[in-house]
A and B are shown apart, each in its own frame.
Chain A
Amino acid sequence: AQSVTQPDIHITVSEGASLELRCNYSYGATPYLFWYVQSPGQGLQLLLKYFSGDTLVQGIKGFEAEFKRSQSSFNLRKPSVHWSDAAEYFCAVGPSLGSGTYKYIFGTGTRLKVLA
């Protein structure tokens, strides 16, 4: 069965420090991978997506993610975190050709706290 795992429930970093949020997936077909961000009380905003091609993808707000098939990972990174990045981050895998599903599957989320 398809699944997405985010091993870190909470992460705290200092403003200006680098950030890496981990995501591992289990998916039979070629995965289509996403990172969404959710600020408190808000909806889900797409940060970036990976469908194919270059395994390092750039997103909004200075985020990037690297797809590593050998590790079944799609980790999110940012070189220098801003206080406004404090939010919950969700990794998701989307429907792909041959997957037999229409749904997007979300990880449990990682809550990011940024210290001033």
Chain B
Amino acid sequence: EPEVTQTPSHQVTQMGQEVILRCVPISNHLYFYWYRQILGQKVEFLVSFYNNEISEKSEIFDDQFSVERPDGSNFTLKIRSTKLEDSAMYFCASRMDGVNTEAFFGQGTRLTVV
């Protein structure tokens, strides 16, 4: 069964460093998402991406964050200068075109900023 894959599964980084989280969405999907979940808290929407541009973003997704689809398969989230409060599980998701579709989530990348 096709699945969304994320790498790495766990990343530790120093405060102020840049990190790139990588995702390979399901191949025929057209909408891509990043969500985050701070430990013990709710799953929060960061950004959606469609047709090579951001379609929607939350207030969390400030100038420190960026997304890119550098080739036909990868979808990345970059955090330019990490802060302690960026420590969270980051989930990538994708879905097919159309409105009657569910999002498929990856296993997540646990980001720890020290």
Contacts and interface: CB of A to CB of B under 8 A. Distances in A.
B100 A46 contact: no
B102 interface: yes
B31 interface: yes
Q: How large is the interface on A (under 10, 10 to 19, 20 to 34, 35 or more residues)?
A: 20 to 34
Contact of A32 (B50, B93, B100, B106): B100
B68 interface: no
Q: How large is the interface on B (under 10, 10 to 19, 20 to 34, 35 or more residues)?
A: 20 to 34
A95 B107 contact: no
Secondary structure type dominating chain B contacts: strand
Contacts of B55: 102
B105 A96 contact: no
B60 to A, nearest CB: 12
Interface in B85-114: 91, 93, 99-108
A103 B48 contact: yes
Interface of B: 31, 33, 35, 41-45, 48, 50, 55-56, 58, 91, 93, 99-108
Interface of A: 32, 34, 36, 42-46, 49, 51-52, 90, 92, 94-97, 101-109
